Amino acid sequence: MGYTLEDAIERSSKENAMIVKYESGLRKDYIEWNPLTEHMFKPLADPRYYKNKTVVMKSGEEVMGKELPPDMLTAGINPFIQIIFKIVKRGGITSHEDIIRSLINDERVLQASDKDTIPIIEGILEYMNKAEDVGGGGYHLLLHDGKLKVGFELPKSYHLVEYKKGYDPFEYHIMRFVEGRGMASRDEIYEYIVEYLAWMKSVSKIDIYIDKLVERGNLRKVQRNFFKFIKPLESFK
């Protein structure tokens, strides 16, 4: 952090920075920055300090909103909606087929071998292309000659979390949560995904993810509703 907000944005320097340590979304510690602590903790810049982007137009300068860093996701919105929005925004007018290929081959957050993958993607695209008052996502995607382009921007939260290509984001963050604690209860996992990340409303879907992770041997069920970290996830190929 800088001595003032202007300092932090315009004249940021590691020498006047402080590392703030979070565990499962809770602030745990303040750590002095030095080359050793930077190597140990690999801190990220506070996203509040990202500068607005200025674009020069014929009518003058126009300040654009803050761009979400490419390796981050925001709380409050289903991560697959965010990833699809990134794909379409990056590619311009994009076909359904190109979105599916990108999710499977480039982002690698879904698997072609899973029979549910295509229906899931098509369902999300349909949701994003509807108005909120008819049960959709608020016209975040718009149809254009049978293809899709970005519509209204996704709302952004100050609370950002890591986006890792090659992993289902729900599985990735459930595993990070349990690994950070060594062992976590089912209710703690519910609270993390539903309340802290606000990515999902139905706990029954979280149960499906937990069951998959236990079946693969990443988690082990201990006692009635506690789960222990056993081994890390393997990325989708």
Residue 121 pLDDT exceeds 90: yes
The residue behind tokens 């674009």 is 55
- Render pLDDT for 1-28 as a digit per residue (tens, 0 to 9): 545 666 666 666 777 778 888 765 566 7
Q: Are 22 and 28 in contact (CB under 8 A)?
A: yes
Give this prediction's pTM: 0.75
Specify which residues 150 forms β-bridges with: 141
What pLDDT does 93 receive?
93
Average pLDDT over residues 138-167: 89
Residue 50 pLDDT exceeds 70: no
Residue 137: phi and psi, rounded to 5, are: -95, 15
- What percent of the chain has pLDDT above 90? 56
Q: How many helices (H) and strands (E) does the chain have?
A: 8, 11
Give CATH for domain 167-229.
Answer: 1.10.10.10
Q: How far is it, in rounded angstroms, from Cα 29 to Cα 12?
A: 21
